[in-house]
Amino acid sequence: MSIVINTPNGNIGRNLALRLLEAGQSLTLISRSAEKVADLVKRGAKVVEGSSDDAAVLDKAFAGASAVFWLTPPAMRPDFVEWTQAMGRLAAQKAKQHGVKRVVVLSSVGAQSGPGTGPVGVLREVEEAFKAAVADVTILRPGYFMENLLRDLPSLVNASTLFLTIPPERRAPFVATVDIAHKAADVLLDAGWKGHRYIGVHGPQDLTYTEVVGILSRELGQPVRYVQVSFDDARKAMLGMGLPGFMVDLFVQMYEAIPEGRMDAAEPRSAETTTSTTLAQWAREVLKPAVAQARASAA
C-alpha cells in the first residue's frame, strides 16, 4: 500500500510515519523542507517538497497513492478559515482525481458543531469535502491533546499554576498525540473497513482540571494550582504574548464554546475510542523533563 502523509513534521505525523515504515509500508511525505524529513527518507520514505495548499505538490504526492492521511496544517494567517477550507477541498478533489481509495482525516472533538468553535470550526467542512470525494473515509476526532499543556510551561515554571477559562469541574477527554498516531496507523493498516465513519480518540479517561492539577502535582513533585480566568483576561494574556488579534478571536471563540457543550465529543467513549497513555505517564515522560529544561534555561 502506498500512503501519503501531508504533515510529517508534527508530533502526530512523525509518529505515524515511523509506525508505517516499521510496518513496511510505502510512504510519501509532503514537507516544505526535505531536510526536516531526511531521517525518514533514510528509512525508506519518499518526499515531495512543498506546501499542502499547492495543487502541483498534491498532484505529485497523490499520483499512485492508495491512501492519504490528512491533517489540517496549523497556520497563523488572517485568512485561516478560508485557506483551511479551500485547502481541504483541493486535497479532496486531488484525491478523487488520482483515484485514492482511502483517506484518514484528523479532525477534532467539537468538529460536529461547525462554525463558532474557533479553529475547530473549519474542520467539519474539511470532513465533508473528503466524504464527498472518496468512498472510504475514516474521520478521527481526538480529544484535548496532552501536549497542549506544554504551552503552559511558563506559568507552570514561574507560578506552578494553570490559568484557563474552562470550569475546573468540567470533564474532557485527554489524549497523547502518540496514541492518536497509533490509532491512525491502525486504521490505515486495517484493510477491512469501508464507507464513511467517525472514530473518537479519547485517551484513557475524561478528566476535570481539578483532577489534572492533582496528577501534575504528584508527577512534578510540586503543588500545581488551577485558576479559572475570564475570557477578557485570557484575551489580554494572549495579546500580551504577541498572538495576532485574529487568532486570539478564534481561540476565545473556542473557549466560549466549551462550557456551552459545543466542544464535547460527539462519539461516545468505548473500547475502540479509549487509548492507553495516561496523563500521569505523559507528565512523567514528557512534561517533567520539559519543566526541568525550562528551569535550567532560566537559571
User: Does 25 score more than 80 pLDDT?
Assistant: yes
What radius of gyration do the chain's Cα atoms show? 19
Cell numbers found for residue 283 = 507528565
Rounded to 5 degrees, what are φ and ψ at 101?
A: -85, -35
Percent of the chain with pLDDT over 90: 96
**How far apart are alpha carbons 295 and 222 in whole angstroms?**
14
pLDDT number for residue 205: 96
Mean pLDDT of 33-47: 96
Please enumerate in sequence order all residues whose Cβ is within 8 A of that of 72, keeping only pairs 6 or more positions apart, or say none: 84, 87, 88, 106, 122, 123, 126
CB 117 within 8 A of CB 110: yes
Least Cα distance to 199 among 179, 218, 217 occurs for: 179
**Residue 292 has what pLDDT?**
94
pTM confidence score: 0.96
- Please check the confidence at residue 105 and state whether its pLDDT lies above 80: yes
Q: Which helix (H) or strand (E) holds 281?
A: helix 279-282
Mean pLDDT of 160-177: 97
Contact in structure between 138 and 199 (CB atoms under 8 Å) = yes
* Grid cell for residue 43: 528509512
Q: How far is CA 20 from CA 93, 98, 282, in A?
A: 25, 22, 23
> Does the pLDDT of residue 299 top 80, yes or no?
no
Strand pairing category for 206-207 and 172-175: antiparallel
Residue 28's identity, in one-letter code, is T
Q: What is the pLDDT of residues 107-166, one digit of tens each?
A: 999 999 999 999 999 999 999 999 999 999 999 999 999 999 999 999 999 999 999 999
pLDDT for 297 beyond 90? no
CATH number for the domain whose boundaries are 2-145+174-201: 3.40.50.720
> pLDDT grade, residue 1 (50/70/90)?
confident
